[in-house]
Structure 1
């Protein structure tokens, strides 16, 4: 009797395990199918733009993912017949200042909020938290009037300063969360040896911030490349245009509708950023995960 019962239990257990394997297989197949569909949706437009950049002609009719008569004429035209080089240098200037300023200020602010106790600290942190909830374009009119009064309109440096200020609340919280995870015993040991606060920050805390500093540097460098609203609002002369403004004008001007050259400009713009992300991907993931542990 006991042998029969044990055999029945074994069959039931095997049946349950079989059904579970079938369910797991079906779930895995559905997930892979969904991921494949999403990948196609995301990758196809990118392939289409890259293919269009090598296509002959200039209209949308010649834009195909795989052009029949591939040519580099669009890239030659881009750098010889347009101001793309000037736009690129303008964007590079804004991005570099934004990166340097964001890294320096966010590292210092994050360390101050994480390590130093002062009056109004909680209120300041709450204010920063509230500020980062609002997108920067909500203050566009106020920023425009402020720049108009101070004579900073049509200034690339002014645009970089606005970009730094817009991202500072978010970057400060990232750096504070990362610094909270660093052992305070290192600071205390250095203080016992006679080191001052700035020395502790510069020689002990700052080197340990490297993963998050890399993350902030890359995101701060790439942000101006994608920004369109603030440059459109603050920059007026053609010589101060960024890549986003230049490419937009290239396909919206009533006398110009050169889509394939626009595609070449988009590819040339994305190439260095893509390489940067690939090379520093490990630091990006490490910094993002570390900053999310504590906020």
Structure 2
């Protein structure tokens, strides 16, 4: 077997694997689309067709006209954007301080941040819940924003610190010689170069709060404060589940995440690799 034929077989095998893997990944999503289009009397159909017989948009119409879905969407958007902005602001500055400055307890802080990443938010829920009660922030936007930000920050700070380590200090020294102070050197020189890591931080902060359910369900108790994850849970009951509304709502919840990944995809590879090789 010559090299050309061998290369063709290798390429064919790789593309075949990707097609099969992609099909297995996409089919569940297409199945959700199918459920959202089914008439009410055919929600439990065993048909494998993507477009069901008698397809209708009634679930989508009911989602926006008969449920507070838009309110849930607004709540999730406000909370996720607040977490994203706060996470980027705190992680970019804290990561820079850990990367560039030497101070007492720096090593302990870094170890503490690394250890914190090992604990999921659900393990920290009880102490955070007690703190929110004492601060009178339970059942409020600010309370859930604080919890989401605090659980996302350890990864974000470590990510930003690692990326700043890859940026030569000589660039800041040159800026200082040209008359910039420390903050100006950071804002005008380092900050723009750290854009890929900032994108990763923003994306992680946003996604950690966008569709989260467990923490939000414990903190937000008023229906007008419900996020999308809690709201969609209302379509499920012990007697019956409104699968059409559930499927339609799930598709709309996934759209912002997909769009963000598509828009920011060109930054993802460099942001994840450069920020993790040097620490």
- TM-score, L = length of structure 1: 0.86
1:9 aligned residue: none
Answer yes or no: is 1:264 the counterpart of 2:248: yes
**Residue number among 259, 267, 278 corresponding to 1:275 in the alignment:** 259
Q: Secondary structure at the match of 1:160?
A: helix
2:270 aligned residue: 286
- Asked whether the 8 Å contact 1:59–1:258 carries over to 2, the reply is no
Answer yes or no: is 1:83 the counterpart of 2:71: no
Count of paired positions: 277
Q: For structure 1, which segment, 28-37 or 271-280, has the greater mean C-alpha deviation from structure 2 after superposition?
A: 28-37
Inter-partner Cα distance in structure 2 for 1:59 and 1:26:
45
Answer yes or no: is 1:57 the counterpart of 2:40: yes
- Asked whether the 8 Å contact 2:64–2:70 carries over to 1, the reply is yes
Pick closer, same or farther for the CA change 1:34–1:161 going to 2, 3 Å.
Answer: same
1:3 aligned residue: none
1:57-90 Cα shifts (integer Å, max 9, x gaps): 1764148632122222111100110111111111
Q: Secondary structure at the match of 1:293?
A: coil
2:181 aligned residue: 196
1:44 aligned residue: 27
1:10 aligned residue: none
1:167 aligned residue: 152
Shift of 1:151: 0.9
Q: Secondary structure at the match of 2:124?
A: helix
Shift of 1:208: 1.2
Inter-partner Cα distance in structure 2 for 1:43 and 1:163:
30
- Asked whether the 8 Å contact 1:95–1:225 carries over to 2, the reply is yes
**Residue number among 124, 134, 155 corresponding to 2:109 in the alignment:** 124
Inter-partner Cα distance in structure 2 for 1:60 and 1:140:
37
**Residue number among 220, 224, 227 corresponding to 2:212 in the alignment:** 227
Structure 2 segments unaligned to the other structure (5+ residues): none
Inter-partner Cα distance in structure 2 for 1:193 and 1:35:
52
Q: For structure 1, which segment, 139-148 or 35-44, has the greater mean C-alpha deviation from structure 2 after superposition?
A: 35-44
Pick closer, same or farther for the CA change 1:161–1:58 going to 2, 3 Å.
Answer: farther
The structure that has the greater radius of gyration is 1
Shift of 1:41: 2.8
Answer yes or no: is 1:101 the counterpart of 2:86: yes
Inter-partner Cα distance in structure 2 for 1:190 and 1:23:
54
Structure 1 segments unaligned to the other structure (5+ residues): 1-17
- C-alpha RMSD over aligned residues: 2.2
